């Protein structure tokens, strides 16, 4: 048996994770992500898939972020009908996120049609909500740490990767005619001291490793994010102001809710109402209860006790009417809403109404990409455009570091050191050229690893005649 891999994404870039494995009579994909960010990357979402999707027999997912699952509806629309393996929480998260993605694609196509800036006369979405729904029956959810077979010669096991709820490292064991080989896909690795998620599992053995390198060039500052968060909130409350926290619905919102609960409980910030104003974030938070075995909050997630996601000061606002009542809110209160980079969503109308008041504070808790409204606010611009109007930024803008869901360079190395023997080959993936390059060099110098940074659409023969 021969084993080959073709890199259909996450090669010298962070998005579009898709690795096509071929063991001769069986072809399967590990992750099925969307390309995001720069236009030339996003254009790849429209490229013809390098093989007929009908020929591919299975998909193995690591976790539910869009850059790992976001291409699924397109692939299913184009004929893929095999099983999609993932952990139980990943299946549920994926449903929430794919529906949202379908809606966004439809809205973008509609917007392009109205504005007439598309090069097509009739711009079409990459996929629709309906296309996203067609993916759901194909999910075959699996437990962590329990091997399952995807082919008579291929067995997969998921291990906790931290990062986000349900995120997994995938170990793929290929039983050839004469030899057995182990492939390990890191997926995205989380932090080693996350208060909610388990740390990334160390895997003792592998022949070939795929290691992510998002922060391969960065060592996280040794700061306590909860203290920075407390400082921003106390500062704003001292002015009798209102705090707005734009946050991603998945992961970041729950981490913020966790810290706010702890800070109030310990008296480090005054007890004040918290409004979680995002239906998606509410749905995601509820999954932590359904999958309590897959994170560390297990001891406190009980209906009868107060816990970070359920206490007397925490209010879940699902309806639009509820959201609107927050426009008149004044004084000491906290609104958590999406999107995290203030590029859309309900947080826009909170910013629209509350940015002009100098008493208020806006606390960013994640990376703000270039060109986003969040970045302009963090950069201290005095006016921002919202709903086509110029809004004065009189509120104070804060930025809290250290809430990242990604392992830093030290943590990636710590995970790599977990192998008892060095793998024969390691692909350094899911990182911009510079961070992938720096991590690859470090793995080579310090651990003697044989590393490769693959190129987009590059193929490698991993084993022959096994
Ligand atoms: Zn991820």
Alpha-carbon distance 122 to 224, whole Å? 50
Instruction: Mark the residues whose beta carbon lies below 5 A from ion ligand 1.
Output: 65, 188
Q: What is the pLDDT of residue 298?
A: 65
Q: What is the pLDDT of residue 118?
A: 62
Q: What is the pLDDT of residue 38?
A: 79
Q: What is the 168 CA–ligand 1 centroid distance (Å)?
A: 10
Q: What is the pLDDT of residue 301?
A: 56
Q: What is the 67 CA–ligand 1 centroid distance (Å)?
A: 7
| Whole-prediction pTM | 0.93
Q: What is the 212 CA–ligand 1 centroid distance (Å)?
A: 10
Q: What is the pLDDT of residue 302?
A: 57
Alpha-carbon distance 420 to 345, whole Å? 47
Q: What is the pLDDT of residue 117?
A: 64
Q: What is the pLDDT of residue 119?
A: 64
Q: What is the 64 CA–ligand 1 centroid distance (Å)?
A: 7
Evaluate whether 172 touches 180 at the Cβ level (below 8 Å): no
Q: What is the pLDDT of residue 404?
A: 87
Q: What is the 340 CA–ligand 1 centroid distance (Å)?
A: 15
Evaluate whether 74 touches 45 at the Cβ level (below 8 Å): yes
Residue at token pair 């932590």: 288
Q: What is the pLDDT of residue 376?
A: 95
Q: What is the pLDDT of residue 335?
A: 98
* CA-CA-CA-CA torsion sign (294, 295, 297, 299): positive
Q: What is the pLDDT of residue 36?
A: 85
Q: What is the 163 CA–ligand 1 centroid distance (Å)?
A: 7
Evaluate whether 386 touches 352 at the Cβ level (below 8 Å): yes
Kindly give the parts of the chain with pLDDT less than 50. Answer: none
Alpha-carbon distance 269 to 397, whole Å? 18
Q: What is the 65 CA–ligand 1 centroid distance (Å)?
A: 5
Q: What is the 248 CA–ligand 1 centroid distance (Å)?
A: 12
Q: What is the 90 CA–ligand 1 centroid distance (Å)?
A: 11
Of the chain, the percentage scoring pLDDT greater than 90 comes to 83
Q: What is the 396 CA–ligand 1 centroid distance (Å)?
A: 30
Q: What is the 46 CA–ligand 1 centroid distance (Å)?
A: 22
Q: What is the 109 CA–ligand 1 centroid distance (Å)?
A: 26
Residue 366 backbone dihedrals phi, psi, to 5 degrees = -150, 175
Q: What is the 24 CA–ligand 1 centroid distance (Å)?
A: 30
Mean pLDDT over each residue of the chain, to the nearest integer: 94
């Amino acid at each position: 048996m021969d084993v080959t891999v073709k890199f259909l994404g996450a090669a010298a870039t962070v998005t579009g994770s898709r690795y096509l494995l071929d063991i001769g009579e069986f072809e399967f994909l590990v992750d099925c992500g969307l390309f995001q960010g720069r236009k030339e990357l996003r254009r790849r979402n429209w490229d013809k898939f390098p093989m007929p999707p009908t020929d591919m027999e299975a998909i193995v997912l690591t976790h539910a972020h869009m850059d790992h699952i976001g291409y699924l509806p397109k692939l299913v629309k184009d004929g893929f009908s095999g099983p999609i393996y993932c952990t139980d929480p990943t299946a549920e998260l994926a449903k929430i996120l794919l529906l949202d993605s379908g809606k966004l694609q439809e809205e973008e196509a509609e917007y392009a049609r109205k504005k007439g800036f598309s090069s097509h006369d009739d711009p079409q979405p990459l996929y629709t909500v309906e296309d996203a729904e067609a993916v759901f029956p194909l999910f075959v959810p699996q437990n962590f740490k329990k091997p399952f077979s995807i082919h008579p010669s291929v067995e997969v096991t998921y291990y906790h990767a931290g990062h986000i709820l349900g995120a997994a490292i995938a170990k793929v064991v290929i039983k050839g005619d004469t030899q057995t080989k182990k492939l390990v896909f890191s997926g995205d690795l989380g932090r080693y001291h996350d208060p909610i998620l388990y740390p990334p599992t160390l895997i003792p053995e592998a022949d070939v490793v795929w290691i992510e390198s998002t922060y391969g060039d960065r060592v996280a500052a040794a700061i306590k994010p909860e203290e920075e968060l407390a400082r921003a909130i106390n500062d704003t409350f001292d002015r009798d102001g209102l705090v707005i926290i734009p946050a991603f619905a998945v992961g970041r919102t729950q981490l913020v809710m966790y810290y706010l609960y702890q800070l109030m409980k310990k008296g480090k910030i005054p007890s004040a109402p918290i409004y979680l104003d995002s239906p998606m974030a509410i749905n995601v938070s509820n999954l932590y209860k359904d999958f309590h075995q897959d994170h560390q909050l297990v001891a406190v997630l009980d209906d009868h006790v107060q816990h970070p996601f359920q206490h007397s000061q925490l209010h879940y606002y699902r309806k639009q009417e509820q959201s609107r009542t927050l426009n008149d809110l004044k004084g000491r209160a906290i609104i958590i809403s999406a999107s995290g980079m203030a590029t859309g969503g309900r947080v826009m109308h909170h910013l629209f109404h509350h940015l002009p008041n100098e008493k208020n504070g806006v606390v960013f808790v994640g990376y703000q990409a270039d060109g986003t409204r969040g970045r302009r606010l963090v950069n201290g611009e005095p006016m921002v455009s919202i709903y086509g109007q110029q809004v004065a930024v009189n509120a104070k803008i804060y930025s809290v570091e250290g809430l990242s869901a990604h392992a830093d360079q030290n943590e990636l190395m710590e995970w790599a050191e977990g192998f008892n023997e060095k793998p024969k080959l390691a692909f350094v993936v899911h990182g911009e050229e510079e961070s992938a390059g720096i991590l690859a060099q470090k793995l080579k110098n310090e651990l003697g690893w044989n590393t490769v940074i693959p190129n987009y659409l590059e193929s490698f023969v991993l084993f022959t005649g096994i």
